[in-house]
Structure 1
Amino acid sequence: MPEQKLSSRHPYLNKMSSVVAIGGGHGLGRVLSSLAFLGERLTGLVATTDDGGSTGRIRSQHGGIAWGDLRNCLTQIIIKPTVASALFEYRFGGVGELAGHNLGNLILKALENMKIRPLEGINLVRELLHVRAGLIPMSESPVHLAAQLKSGVTIVGEVSVDALEEIPRNLLLIPKVSATPEAIDIVKKAELIVLGPGSFLTSIMPSLLIDEISSAITQSNAKLIFIDNIQQESGPAGSLSLADRIEWLETRIGKNRLNGIITVPTTYNDLPENITVLKQILSDDEVEYRHDRNKLSKAINDIVELLNR
């Protein structure tokens, strides 16, 4: 769909000078691709705690930050694939050292090994792929997600947290890391901040565990919305109700900070009156658990309209 035609359907979003979307992996990538018409006015703040798949193998063998979610977001923003984007997303088959590795992860890791700052490495790849939206890692230091259980045991690693059979008592980052400075600046300037969709505990929460980021969100004048998943999550987060998840968010961003929620029509909610809830059918026609880009961008525009009344 031509950029001008797409953007003309979103008058409230089109007036905004800065929109920040926070999350990781497929969910954040979907939001960024749905709002790609905003160009340089859109920034993704990406979780860097992944330790599974190709990313996990690279981290365990060579250290460094988690590149997988950043790579995923870069390629999802490109709705019409190019040779460059196909190359960046290429995954090696067969057996041996390279089997299962994603070339984009290896390229980003190579830039890191060359002592190029992670954010600068991302910007180099953005130029190669002609991606106009910004992408910022939540931190440029290696970090792992951890969960403290009710028993007092601490489980370390995003994959391990996702595999839990109980809701953790709380989450933390090991080690404690600082936010990427540009992440704080962009949050402070944002007119709209979007949380989700995606894995609640392992994609949405990690960035909020960095005090500088959560404080910047709390103090920001931006409208803050949460986009719910279309289907119930697997893993421990699947047993959290919408109200439970809002409580988890509020432990980091403060009470009454969240302005709006986008969710599906079947969701039962018992939420504070200060939160505007927009219920719409948002499923992609081909993959029902995935948000349709056009429906999602319209829903975001619609809830911004409601919040400005």
Structure 2
Amino acid sequence: MRNRTLSDLDRVVALGGGHGLGRVMSALSSLGSCLTGIVTTTDNGGSTGRIRRAEGGIAWGDMRNCLNQLITEPSVASAMFEYRFSGNGELAGHNLGNLMLRALDHLSVRPLEAINLVRSLLKVDAQLIPMSEQPVDLVALDHEGNHVYGEVNVDQLQHMPQELMLSPTVDATVEAIEAIAQAELILIGPGSFLTSLMPLLLLPDLSTALRRSTAPVIYIDNLGRELSVAAAALSLQDKLDLMEQNIGRKAISAVITGPRNKINTTSDRMIIQEPLEASDIPYRHDRALLRLALEHALQQMK
């Protein structure tokens, strides 16, 4: 791996949800079809939550967010996909992209087919795969032993839950497992730790694929403080430990983090600590700086 660059790799797989994964995917969009994103599908808030309650199906919000950030050619289709209804009517607050994905899901045999149709419409080369094609929710067992259902409620926990689980038990998308098996580099994060990253690792077949993979795994740490009180209390080492407990081995070989973040990891893990903040939104990663940090990590790997 040493002295290789990102453009030398044929299979890069990034895992996460929402803004974080979209940022990573857009930073590496020049990789085209060599880049695959595996997207969390447990969101139950906002427009996505309303659609799920009314229509069922998987959560589309994180997928839409990733697609939005990968659009490189503005068009009528992309403007429609990004459009959000205003006003006070029944459509107020709904994102047209979410509705389009749900409608295409109705017309398709599989949710993945709906995603591929939108990718074609928006001219997005990178591949995007939902973590599961079956509807699923995040559930926590809180510090008092109560079950807390749904991402929105889990994010409001004041204390770390005793356990996180998925309900019902679902399978990971076959293509997601295949992508991990073929990956030459795997990226996890950034994103809300409990609700964007951990749901992926709660899928037994996906965590098994990560355990079996021989590809180096890089964790991209958040720049801003977590909105979740429980997650904000976690140290970097805590997060690595929790992820690797679910994966079943010490899998994360490198961490990319900002200069302000505290590092308290063991010395045998590569740490790339560089300026990463976007000039307009400091808690978001600058795409060029993130790509540069990933290149630096890749060059130092054996």
| Bin of the TM-score, shorter chain as denominator length | over 0.9
Checking the alignment, whether the CA contact within 8 Å between 2:73 and 2:123 is kept in structure 1 is no
SS in 2 for 1:217: helix
> In the alignment, what sits opposite 1:297?
291
Partner Cα separation in structure 2 for residue 290 and residue 270 of structure 1: 22
Checking the alignment, whether the CA contact within 8 Å between 1:33 and 1:79 is kept in structure 2 is no
Partner Cα separation in structure 2 for residue 92 and residue 148 of structure 1: 36
The answer to whether 1:141 aligns with 2:145 is no
Checking the alignment, whether the CA contact within 8 Å between 2:32 and 2:126 is kept in structure 1 is yes
Q: TM-score, normalised by structure 2?
A: 0.96
Partner Cα separation in structure 2 for residue 130 and residue 142 of structure 1: 27
- 1:211-290 equivalences under 5 Å are 211-235=204-228, 236-290=230-284
Partner Cα separation in structure 2 for residue 79 and residue 268 of structure 1: 35
- 1:7-156 equivalences under 5 Å are 12-79=5-72, 81-156=74-149
What is the CA RMSD across the aligned residues, in angstroms? 1.2
Question: Which structure 1 residue ranges, 5 or more long, are not aligned?
Answer: 1-9
Checking the alignment, whether the CA contact within 8 Å between 2:166 and 2:202 is kept in structure 1 is yes
- Amino acid of the structure 2 residue aligned with 1:163: Q
- Amino acid of the structure 2 residue aligned with 1:97: E
* Cα distance, 1:83 vs structure 2: 2.6
SS in 2 for 1:61: helix
Deviations 1:55-74 (A, max 9, x none): 00000111110001001100
Question: Which structure 2 residue ranges, 5 or more long, are not aligned?
Answer: none
Checking the alignment, whether the CA contact within 8 Å between 1:285 and 1:292 is kept in structure 2 is yes
SS in 2 for 1:259: strand
* Cα distance, 1:95 vs structure 2: 1.5
- 1:169-180 equivalences under 5 Å are 169-180=162-173
Partner Cα separation in structure 2 for residue 60 and residue 89 of structure 1: 22
Partner Cα separation in structure 1 for residue 113 and residue 227 of structure 2: 35
Checking the alignment, whether the CA contact within 8 Å between 1:207 and 1:213 is kept in structure 2 is yes
Checking the alignment, whether the CA contact within 8 Å between 2:108 and 2:114 is kept in structure 1 is no
- Amino acid of the structure 2 residue aligned with 1:122: I
Percent of aligned pairs with the same residue?
52
Partner Cα separation in structure 2 for residue 99 and residue 265 of structure 1: 40
Checking the alignment, whether the CA contact within 8 Å between 1:48 and 1:139 is kept in structure 2 is yes
* Cα distance, 1:79 vs structure 2: 4.3
